[in-house]
A and B are shown apart, each in its own frame.
Chain A
């Protein structure tokens, strides 16, 4: 158990809909990262938040947004869903100030868009 929690575990929805994925980082970690994993693309970095502020952006679509709240939990919002958005979405967290960039991953949310 990494200490990172994600909900829900599974999500099935229809095209055009909007969903929210939730992540709670390990106790004491200030950074939260979101990744998308699909069979053909592998693990793709989406976005990073550090102590409530956006720190880095990766291959995140404009239909997707995220935020980190004062209690450090984070939400990833996916809107106008398309079939191609079906994937595993992972959240990871890391401790502040460490130079090894080690990240600890949650169990993931499997999103299926029908």
Chain B
């Protein structure tokens, strides 16, 4: 079983549409991160959310951390073709120890058509 479940797996939309992708778990996380990866490139860190209920905005992207720190969402307003890519959520489960194994979801592959 995957510790972080991302949905949807694939999303194809038209330019100008809004969308939300989800990252869910049954585990509590110290923090969650969102990365975007373009084909053949390394993931690029977009944002880190740390506090339950936290909302962060990055231009047209809005990230939210669930109150219980078990889930997160990414909302994109007025999507642009440049938003196309694989969106990955990642986090370290809160264990009270020094476990630094960052676990990644399988990602949401977003295609924004012009």
Given contacts A101-B31, A101-B33, A101-B92, contact A45 B45 (CB under 8 A): no
Per-residue B-contact encoding for A83-114, CB less than 8 Å = 1, 0 else: 00000101010000001111111111010000
Give per-residue flags for A31-51: 1 if the beta carbon is below 8 A from chain B beta carbons, else 0: 101000000001101001000
Chain A residues whose C-beta falls within 8 Å of the C-beta of B30 in the assembled complex: 99, 101
B43 touches A105 (CB 8 A): yes
Q: Known contacts A101-B30, A102-B48; is A45 also within 8 Å of B102 by CB? A: yes
Give me the interface of A with B, judged by CB distance under 8 Å. Answer: 2, 4, 31, 33, 42-43, 45, 48, 55-56, 58, 88, 90, 92, 99-108, 110
Q: How far is the CA of A110 from the CA of B39 in the complex (A)?
A: 12
Of A45, A102, A105, the residue contacting B42 (CB under 8 A) is A105
- Is B100 in contact with A31, judged by CB distance below 8 angstroms? yes
Tell which of B102, B105, B107 has the most Cβ of chain A within 10 Å. Answer: B102
Whether B102 pairs with A33 at a CB distance below 8 angstroms is: yes
Q: How far is the CA of A107 from the CA of B44 in the complex (A)?
A: 10
Q: List 11 A-B contacts (CB under 8 A).
A: A42-B105, A42-B106, A42-B107, A90-B43, A99-B30, A100-B33, A100-B50, A102-B45, A103-B90, A105-B45, A108-B42
The number of chain B residues touching the other chain, given as a range, is 20 to 34
Closest to A103 in B: B102
| Interface residue? B99 (CB, 8 A) | yes
